[in-house]
Amino acid sequence: MTTQIGLVFFIAAIGLCVIGIGGIVLSRNLFRMVLALAIAEAGANLLLVLAGYRWDAVAPILSAGQMPAPMVDPVPQAMVLTAIVIGVGVQALALTLVVRVKQRYGTLDMQLARERMNAEIDATADVTPPRSQERPRGERPLPAPAGGAHD
């Protein structure tokens, strides 16, 4: 019984993780990738919290200077707290980048953004791309970077 319930939790945690990873890998939309990342991190955090769970235990808060009952492990909770905040920071930064990419390249499509990035790196380095990677004719040119203040 107990292991089955544990399995459910594990499946939940791993499922979140795998869904998140799959989202990052499969989606082409930058914003969805950030969301997928949040899901994946949630999964990992859930697994971490599970590591500290004890049956029939209470929250690790001392009342009147003593342990009222077996308490769950406080360390994973602290770790998760840290991990969540780290995740928040990373996601916030990712979002700022998404905003900027959207502005500069006018797209949220990873594939397009990457092609344009490679083209830009090549252009900056003054390298002509190999023929097989040349883009078909008639494609729209890169949008000019908006707002010259940052360039």
Partner 1 sequence: MRNIATLLFLGGLAFLLIVITGSLDFGAPPMRIGTQIQAATAGDVGTANIVTAVVLGYRGLDTLGELSILFAAATAGGLVLGSAAARARPDGGFILRAGADLMFPLLLIAGLYIVIHGHLTPGGGFQGGVILAAAFFLPLLARPGTTPGHRWLMWIEGLSGATFIVIGLLALYRGDAFLTPLFDHGTLGELVSGGSLPLLYLAVGLKVGAELAGLLMRLAQDDEVTS
Partner 2 sequence: MTGSLDFLLLLSVVGVPLAALLAPSVVGRWLLVLLYVVQLVELALLGSGDGARSAVSFSLLGHSVGWQLDALGWFFAMITVAAAGFSAAYAAGEWGTLNARAGLSLRWLYVGLQVNVFAMLVLLAAGDMVALFIGWELTSWAGLLLMLLAGGEAIAAARRYIVYAIAGGMMVLGGLLMTLAAAGSLQFDAVAAAIPTVGTSALWAITLLFVLGFSVKMATMPFHLWQAPAYAFSPAPASAFLGAISARMGLFAIALVAIKLIGIVQLDRLYLYFDALNLRNLLAWVAVFTAILPTFVAMKQNDARLLLGWHGVGQGGYMLLGLVMADSLGSAGGLLHVFNHATYQAILLMAVFAVIHRTGTADLNRLGGLVARMPLSFLAMLIGIIGLAGLPPMNGFVSKWMIYRALILEGQPLLFVATVISTLGTVLSVYKLLHNTFLGQLRLEHETVKEAPWSMTIPMLVLCVVVFVTGVAPGLVLEYVAAAQQALGLAPVAFILGGIDSPAGTLDMIWVTAILLAGFGIGAVLFYLMGGRSRRVHQLDNYAGGHFLTADVRYQYSDNFYAGLMHRIRPWYRGSFAWAEEALVSTFGAIATAARGFFEQANPAHWVLVGTTLITTWVMWHALV
Partner 3 sequence: MTDLTLAVALPLLAAFVRPLFNAGALRWLGQLIGPVVLALVTVILFAHWSTFSEPFAIALGGFAPPLGIAFYVDRMALLFALAVPLVTLLLWPGDDGADGARRQSLTLLLAASLTGLALSGDLFNLYVFYELAAVASYGLVAGNGSSAGYVAAFRYLMISALGSVVGLLGIGLVYFKTGTLNLAELATLGNELADPQGLAAFAMLAIGFGVKAEMFPVNGWVPEVYGAASRRVAALLAGLASKLAVLVIVRILLLMFPSDEARQLLLVLGILGVVSGELAAYQARDMARMLGWSSIGQLGIVFIAFSLPGEAGLVAGVAAALHHLVVKSALFVLAGPWGGAIDRLRGAATVSALGAGLFVLFALSLLGLPPLPGFWSKFLVIGGLADAGTALHYLGMAAVLTGTVIEGAYLLRVITTLYAPPAGSPAPPRQRGSDLLTAGLFGIALLAAAVMIDPLWQTLDALAVSGVDTAAYQQTVLAAQEAHP
User: Around 33, how many Cα atoms within 13 Å sit in the side-chain half-sphere?
Assistant: 16
How far apart (Å, rounded) are the C-alpha atoms in residues 144 and 146? 6
Q: Which does 54 bind (CB under 5 to 8 A by kind): partner 3, partner 1, partner 2, none?
A: partner 1
Structure tokens at 13: 């945690």
* 88 belongs to the binding site for partner 1 (CB under 8 A): yes
Structure tokens at 17: 């993780």
Phi, psi of 65 (to 5 degrees): 75, 5
Give me the residues that bind partner 1 (CB under 8 A), please: 2-3, 5-7, 9-11, 13-15, 17-18, 21-22, 25-26, 47, 50-55, 59-67, 71, 73-75, 77-79, 81-82, 84-86, 88-90, 92-93, 95-97, 99-100, 103, 106, 143, 146-147, 149-150
